[in-house]
Amino acid sequence: MAEARIRRGGAARLSSARDRTGKGRGRTLKRQSRIDRLIEALPVSEATLQRMASWVIVGIVCAVLIGLGIIFGLPSMAHKQAAELASRAGFEVEKVEVRGVERMDEMPVYNIALGQVDRSMLSLDLPKVRTEMLKLGWVKDARISRRLPDTLVVDIVERDPVAVWQHNGQLHLIDVSGAVLQPVSVSAMPDLPLVVGPDANRQTGALAALMENAPALKPMLAGATWVGNRRWDLRFQSGETLSLPEGDRESASALVNFARMDGVNRLLGRGIVKFDMRDPDRFVLRLPQGRVEDRPMDAAATPAKGEEG
């Protein structure tokens, strides 16, 4: 027994000695990396982190697959296939309902709506149809909508004709912005003023604004000629021509003066051929016999003797 105790004691002393020298240890302590310490500091468990990493990987894989599908045109192919199925099921443009049309011919609207290459109600390009509608002269605005299963509804806002434009021997109906609506024949001339001259159609709005300065003369206006791209010659239904000066303000002032003189002395309808007010200081009257009356503006209110000739 004493011998056994000595052996155990010696072994214990030997093990203690090995511990002091650092030799013979059964295991060593590992140093933690910064990543390990960062993970341990997070307020989530290691299992949760593993699940999150798995979902991130799944998301990346899905994104790659979607990107490859887009590259190879899979969405467009699927959309095309769906459009074909919709057409076979009866969802295809077969009818067109046009609203808001009073003056224009509806046939161009039908031709555009029914002339689309792809008439499936699912894939019909409504902005494209609207753009083509707006190219029609009469169409100021258009709204296109679907009514399932097979009807396309077209709401049209028409332009209002305000004059007939004569240029290069041709007549066209125009609106206040100068947009050409349709050709007009001489035999079917509407009861609208006639504007004559290059770019006169683009000055129709300015002419309308000018005539607002003399409301009493508006019903008497038969037409107007845009002269030299700078001023107006007005023609009245009684046959006279009034030459106005250049400039919006100057022409408006001259027209107001003429309306005032006509209201006092009834200048229109007296056989005078032309009134010339291009010079703000003089009022020139051209008479049928070829005589010309030239008077200062302050004396123009009183007709000259023999003026009626």
User: How would you write the chain as a 3-class SS string?
Assistant: CHHHHHHHHHHHHHHHHHHHHCCCCCCCCCCCCHHHHHHHHCCCCHHHHHHHHHHHHHHHHHHHHHHHHHHCCHHHHHHHHHHHHHHHCCCECCEEEEECCCCCCCHHHHHHHHCCCCCECCCCCHHHHHHHHHCCCCEEEEEEEEECCCEEEEEEEECCEEEEEEECCEEEEEECCCCEEEECCHHHCCCCCEEECCCHHHHHHHHHHHHCCCHHHHHHEEEEEEECCCEEEEEECCCCEEECCCCHHHHHHHHHHHHHHHHHHCCCCCCCCEEECCCCCEEEEECCCCCEEEEEHHHCCCCCCCCCC
Distances (CA, A) of 89 to 32, 85, 120, 121, 126: 67, 6, 10, 11, 20
Q: How far apart are CA 50 and CA 192, in angstroms?
A: 82
Q: How far apart are CA 192 and CA 164, in angstroms?
A: 6
Per-residue pLDDT, averaged over 214-222, amounts to 95
What are the tens digits of pLDDT across the range 267-279?
Answer: 999 889 999 999 9
90-158: CATH topology is: Ubiquitin-like (UB roll) (3.10.20)
Q: CB-based burial of residue 195 (10 Å sphere; 0-12 exposed, 13-18 middle, 19+ buried)?
A: buried
Q: What percent of the chain has pLDDT over 90?
A: 51
Decide: 304 and 291 in contact? Cβ < 8 Å: no
Q: What percent of the chain has pLDDT over 70?
A: 68
User: With 90 as the cut, is the pLDDT of residue 47 above it?
Assistant: no
Q: CB-based burial of residue 200 (10 Å sphere; 0-12 exposed, 13-18 middle, 19+ buried)?
A: buried
More confident residue, 217 or 62: 217
Per-residue pLDDT, averaged over 101-122, amounts to 87
User: With 80 as the cut, is the pLDDT of residue 92 above it?
Assistant: yes
Output Rg (C-alpha) for the chain, integer angstroms: 46
CATH class of the domain comprising 161-299: alpha beta
* Listed ranges 2-6, 145-149, 239-243; the one with the highest mean pLDDT: 239-243
The domain spans of the chain are: 90-158, 161-299
The two beta strands, 161-167 and 194-196, are parallel
More confident residue, 277 or 82: 277
Q: How far apart are CA 134 and CA 88, in angstroms?
A: 31
Phi, psi of 121 (to 5 degrees): -65, -20
User: With 80 as the cut, is the pLDDT of residue 297 above it?
Assistant: no
